[in-house]
Chain A
Amino acid sequence: MQFMLLFSRQGKLRLQKWYVPLSDKEKKKITRELVQTVLARKPKMCSFLEWRDLKIVYKRYASLYFCCAIEDQDNELITLEIIHRYVELLDKYFGSVCELDIIFNFEKAYFILDEFLLGGEAQETSKKNVLKAIEQADLLQESQSEDWGSLPNEEIL
């Protein structure tokens, strides 16, 4: 996988993860182009499209679009499953996740993604293991931050 983007129906970027080194300018250009293309597609259309020399796999969950770019030989369906698995993980972690969860805890969303994918490849296929790793890292963070006064990452809403 080359990169993953999460954006809202309004085209606002919510999360971006790049597994290939690109300059900021290029990233911006790609994002703009892709958001436009994907948003223009109708709901009944299939989840794949060819773009430059990559394949784009996207799926909409509620108001969020999850969009991955994969290489020519990669399997589209497994990418859809990766997206779905990520959504499941977010859901488990936040408890019925919504767009706001991701906006306000965007670093957590990244941490979860990083436990699930590494360098664009699936690193852990077991949901349980991913969540366990995140929980333990969170615990570590909590116990450390108590002596400092916590960085207010927890929900304050």
Chain B
Amino acid sequence: MALKIVKGSIDRMFDKNLQDLVRGIRNHKEDEAKYISTCIDEIKQELKQDNIAVKANAVCKLTYLQMLGYDVSWAAFNIVEVMSSSKFTYKRIGYLAASQCFHESTDVIMLTTNQIRKDLSSPNQYDTGVALTGLSCFVTPDLARDLANDIMTLMSHTKPYIRKKAVLIMYKVFLKYPESLRPAFPRLKEKLEDPDPGVQSAAVNVICELARRNPKNYLSLAPLFFKLMTSSTNNWVLIKIIKLFGALTPLEPRLGKKLIEPLTNLIHSTSAMSLLYECVNTVILCVQKLRILIEDSDQNLKYLGLLAMSKILKTHPKSVQSHKDLILQCLDDKDESIRLRALDLLYGMVSKKNLMEIVKKLMLHVDKAEGTTYRDELLTKIIDICSQSNYQYITNFEWYISILVELTRLEGTRHGHLIASQMLDVAIRVKAIRAFAVAQMATLLDNAHLLTGNTQRNGICEVLYAAAWICGEFSEHLENPMQTLEAMLRPKVATLPGHIQAVYVQNSAKLFATVLKSQEGDTDSTTTQEASQLMIDRLPLFVQSANLEVQERASCILQLVKYIQKLQQKDVEVAEEVCALFAGELNPVAPKAQKKVPVPEGLDLDAWINEPPSESESEDEQPKAIFTKEEPKHSRPRHTEVDEKELARRREARKQEQANNPFYIKASPSSQKVYQDTSGVEHIPVVQIDLSVPLKVPGLPMSDQYVKLEEERRQKVRAEKKKKEKKKRKEKRSGRGRKHDSGPESEEDIAPAHMVDIVTEEMPENALPSDDDERDPSDPHKALDIDLDKPLADNEKLPVRSHRAVEAQKSPVEDGERENAASQEPKKKSSKDKKEKKKDKDRDRKVKVQDYSTLTSLSVVCDIQGNLQDGSQVVVSVIFENKCESFLKSMEFNVLDSLNSKLQRPEGSGPHDGLVVPFQLPPGVSNEARFVFTVQSIVMPQKLKGTLTFIVKNEDSSTHEKLDFKLHFTCTSYLITTPCYSDAFAKLLESGDLKSSSIRLEGVNMPFHHLLARICFHHHFSVVERIDSCASMYSRSIQGHHVCLLVKTSAQTVSIDAKCDEPTLLGNVLDEIKQTFSQC
């Protein structure tokens, strides 16, 4: 009841909650956009309030609106605020919103580093959980670098819930920050044997994903995975492992043999189709099993069967080819996806022998196919199949040309240009076929009206482009050039697209030249005169064309022909001169030719030709006044604002100018209109021909007849061969040759119909053979190709914040032995010197080095954070990690109090008593404890001495150990990242209560945003505003001191001007900042 009342009042307080919003949107179907814009206004109001619950509610609503496609990037900062709430309820919403709305270029992400770090180390596992989940969605390279170490520590968390999340997110971290892979890998490997199955499967997942991309680095893990595979019963894990082996086997053939047995076991025993599919995919020899999949009535299995088949095809084409019948059957399937898959398979299955048969089947499908998309797909596949590997499988090019011509019957296809380019390619490169091709193209041109039913949407007219060019270029092969010339100059041509007309016009000139040449020496000059007259009659139509290209060419050629006609009337021989216009042969050039031209010696392509303009000029100008709210002087140049009127005026003026310009061709809305306006063309009737019934173009050959011819030819060849062989056999009288004539002919036996000379594409001389540039350089996985078996080098440790590590004080004995311990664990020494081994271990344990990643027994890493709620409290979270193989227990933490800072001890205990750490540490485990200190003054940094005592328990003995350390309370640790708006910031500076101070840092060589991120991250500041190379920053101490910075950079010098109400604190903070940058 009481809860209800509270709820009621809350409901009144919130304008709308999420449910109201959703309901509202559903009720405002007609004016949704308007409704939502009022909602967004309300949300903006709510975000201005101080109540975090209201803010969280607003952010929750925004997340919903974001999904509906509204831009909410303006609220990114509010999302960060909600993320930082100490209440899980709101934190959860904040992280959800962040994971949905943030991406790499969201600039506030930079501000979240500290918050996320805090959440990651929260004692509440669900806080850590949401932080990890959120991070997985918006991790950036910067976040990955700064948090890699924290996440790595979490991989050894006591709770499996956290461990498994940490392991999974490491994959994302590796992708963003590849340097972390090597230091983190040993621990990741450990997790493969984690007692918790969830963590184990997470580790398998990550390693499998890594290994798939760069298998060679993971070969050494094969035995471990083999063990897992034979012992695991979790299908999810098994699938991943099998996938991993699939990637490893090509590198280590011996693995294949080993895998056969467990895989066959799985295949026979599993009831999970997904697992079976994975196995089959890996052992790609189980074609028979696949047949069962394809024959299944379930569409999904059928699809996957075909998909797997296509993978097998790459390695074992023979075994797939025997299933041709089945695959051809799939072409009749109702489902388009399945048909397309089957088509893909056919592509890989063709051979010289079956190409014609397969293409014939496909042509039938083309006729039957409904839906242009599928038909287009068929068309491209036919062309792909035929043209693959440089026409490897085509034995009869006459057949192929006729197939291409038949394909032109397709109405409404988008792939006219594809057919056209094939025609051109074949005609140019296969010299032997040119005469035939030209004849075919001439017929095609003659019947062009059949193809151009509706030029607007009919892409097939593109083939006319090829036809016209071939007829023109190779016109010497034409039987009747006059007829073709006539066909090319028909008035109907003017309805074709411009670029095709242009080719027509140009090639009519080539034909004209051929006609002249063929008639030369003839006494009767009527044909040549007819030809000239034809040109002069017909070309004016094209001179009027709206297309610039057509017009230009036509008028050029028209003048030429007129001149020729004059000469002809004077009986001057002109043929040779005209032919010279088109002399020379065009050779195909390989697409890579340009790239392969070797760079001449002494030419440096990277050198500047002219010195680049110096950049220094723009940098001289910098805002002078510090901390005044000035207008940014060198912000981006503003666009000169132009109002509508002005624009309209300009447009009008431009039109006027164009109208007066005789060289400007007026734009017309469509070509249709143009041709109506043009006088002389009006009378041409536009006939629409319905081509839905496949037409047989009269005079065009049917490809079928070539199939027959080819069959006959092959028979003949075979027969001849047999004869020869018989002869040979008779001569030799040996039975050896028998094999040859039994069984079907092999690939090599099929000789091409005529000696086909496929002209290869031209390459520059001494071209460089460089085909290894295949891999995409932007692939993030490329960066992860890292050798993992090499021992870690010192510079590879993950970055740890400097003040987090406890400075260890070593007892004098240990100093000498530190190296010894760090260099090698003694555990692998021979069993004989057991005693010594144990001694060594003990020594190990004592060693406490600053950096945890060296091999020591116990590491202590701590984070010192001020407590926002209480101005006199500092919380120190300490992570204890057991690095030896013994059990650590009874840990006691004690610090020598100073006047200023005291460790908070439970009531009743004395001022020098230690605090008991509330857990024990099994080998290899780490855990975190928090200790609260009270501080009086926070203006000075302080170092506290402390000790940690603990008991090391072995099977047979237990020893007391002691570890000394120092806690460094920097002034920075009293600062709390607090966002500040620029207007509040300006007010603060204007108030005049602040004292100022400044420092200069020399030789800082890093991008400005890195510099800012570093200050934010190490010193708990937030960016208020940033203008080019100048930024204002803000932070607040736990006792409410304001700290303001203005950071400027030019060249390698950074100057920081700072203001604070407490000069001592400010001085110390600045010193610490200086320290941070002196270390890098």
- Give the docked Cα–Cα distance between A47 and B337 (Å): 9
- Of B4-12, B664-672, B933-941, B1004-1012, which stretch is located at the interface? B4-12
- Give the docked Cα–Cα distance between A13 and B67 (Å): 7
Chain A residues numbered 130-157 whose CB sits less than 8 Å from any CB in chain B: 133, 136-137, 140-141, 144-146, 148-153, 156-157
Partner-A contacts on B (CB < 8 A): 3, 6-7, 9-11, 17-19, 22, 53, 56-57, 60, 63-64, 67-69, 71, 73, 87-89, 92-93, 96, 99-100, 103-105, 124, 126, 129-130, 132-133, 136-138, 161, 164-165, 168-169, 171-172, 198, 201-202, 205-206, 209, 212, 234, 236, 239, 243, 273-274, 277-278, 281, 299-300, 302-304, 334-338
B165 touches A118 (CB 8 A): yes
Contact partners of A28 in chain B: CB under 8 A: 69
Minimum CB distance partner of A100 in chain B: B22
Chain A residues numbered 75-113 whose CB sits less than 8 Å from any CB in chain B: 75-78, 80-81, 103-104, 106-107, 110-111
A123 touches B126 (CB 8 A): no
Determine if A45 is an interface residue (Cβ-Cβ < 8 Å): yes
- Give the docked Cα–Cα distance between A151 and B205 (Å): 37
B300 touches A47 (CB 8 A): yes
Known: A48-B304, A77-B304, A152-B19. A22 touches B133 (CB 8 A): no
Contact partners of B164 in chain A: CB under 8 A: 123-124
Contact partners of B277 in chain A: CB under 8 A: 75-77
A137 touches B92 (CB 8 A): yes
- Give the docked Cα–Cα distance between A149 and B53 (Å): 9
Known: A75-B278, A137-B92. A44 touches B239 (CB 8 A): no
A107 touches B60 (CB 8 A): yes
- Give the docked Cα–Cα distance between A146 and B6 (Å): 9
By secondary structure, the A interface counts as: mixed
Determine if A15 is an interface residue (Cβ-Cβ < 8 Å): yes
| Shortest distance between the CB of A15 and any CB in chain B (Å) | 7
A44 touches B92 (CB 8 A): no
B274 touches A133 (CB 8 A): no
| Shortest distance between the CB of B764 and any CB in chain A (Å) | 32
| Shortest distance between the CB of B509 and any CB in chain A (Å) | 45
A150 touches B67 (CB 8 A): no
- Give the docked Cα–Cα distance between A147 and B845 (Å): 47
| Shortest distance between the CB of B211 and any CB in chain A (Å) | 12
Known: A118-B168, A125-B234, A137-B129. A78 touches B336 (CB 8 A): no
| Shortest distance between the CB of B280 and any CB in chain A (Å) | 11
A149 touches B88 (CB 8 A): no
Determine if A30 is an interface residue (Cβ-Cβ < 8 Å): no
- Give the docked Cα–Cα distance between A125 and B164 (Å): 12
A46 touches B89 (CB 8 A): no
Q: Can you list 17 contacts pairing A with B, beta carbon distance less than 8 Å?
A: A13-B69, A17-B137, A46-B335, A46-B338, A49-B337, A73-B212, A75-B243, A80-B300, A114-B96, A121-B168, A133-B129, A144-B88, A145-B87, A149-B9, A150-B10, A151-B60, A152-B11
- Give the docked Cα–Cα distance between A63 and B732 (Å): 79
B67 touches A122 (CB 8 A): no
By secondary structure, the B interface counts as: helix
A21 touches B337 (CB 8 A): no
| Shortest distance between the CB of A140 and any CB in chain B (Å) | 5
B56 touches A151 (CB 8 A): yes
Known: A49-B337, A119-B171, A140-B124. A13 touches B7 (CB 8 A): no
Contact partners of B300 in chain A: CB under 8 A: 46-48, 76-77, 80
Contact partners of B18 in chain A: CB under 8 A: 104, 106-107, 153
B198 touches A126 (CB 8 A): yes
A129 touches B53 (CB 8 A): no
B236 touches A149 (CB 8 A): no
- Give the docked Cα–Cα distance between A157 and B22 (Å): 12
| Shortest distance between the CB of B576 and any CB in chain A (Å) | 56
Task: Known pairs A123-B165, A152-B10; list 20 more (Cβ under 8 Å).
Answer: A14-B67, A19-B136, A45-B299, A46-B299, A75-B277, A75-B281, A78-B239, A80-B274, A103-B22, A104-B18, A119-B168, A121-B205, A122-B236, A123-B202, A133-B161, A144-B87, A148-B87, A150-B7, A151-B60, A156-B19
- Give the docked Cα–Cα distance between A114 and B133 (Å): 6
Determine if A16 is an interface residue (Cβ-Cβ < 8 Å): yes
Minimum CB distance partner of B97 in chain A: A107
Contact partners of B206 in chain A: CB under 8 A: 121
| Shortest distance between the CB of A14 and any CB in chain B (Å) | 8
Contact of A118 among B93, B136, B278, B281 (CB under 8 A): B136
Contact of A140 among B56, B126, B201, B273 (CB under 8 A): B126
Contact of A21 among B92, B93, B104 (CB under 8 A): B104
Contact partners of A78 in chain B: CB under 8 A: 236, 239, 274, 278
Contact of A151 among B89, B198, B304 (CB under 8 A): B89
A137 touches B88 (CB 8 A): yes
Known: A121-B168, A125-B198, A146-B3. A75 touches B274 (CB 8 A): yes
Contact partners of B136 in chain A: CB under 8 A: 19, 118-119
Known: A121-B171, A151-B56. A15 touches B67 (CB 8 A): yes
- Give the docked Cα–Cα distance between A6 and B64 (Å): 13
Contact partners of B87 in chain A: CB under 8 A: 144-145, 148
Minimum CB distance partner of A118 in chain B: B168
| Shortest distance between the CB of B306 and any CB in chain A (Å) | 10
| Shortest distance between the CB of A68 and any CB in chain B (Å) | 14
Contact partners of B9 in chain A: CB under 8 A: 149
A121 touches B19 (CB 8 A): no
- Give the docked Cα–Cα distance between A80 and B278 (Å): 14
B92 touches A141 (CB 8 A): yes
Contact partners of B169 in chain A: CB under 8 A: 118-119
- Give the docked Cα–Cα distance between A46 and B337 (Å): 8
Contact partners of A122 in chain B: CB under 8 A: 201, 205, 236
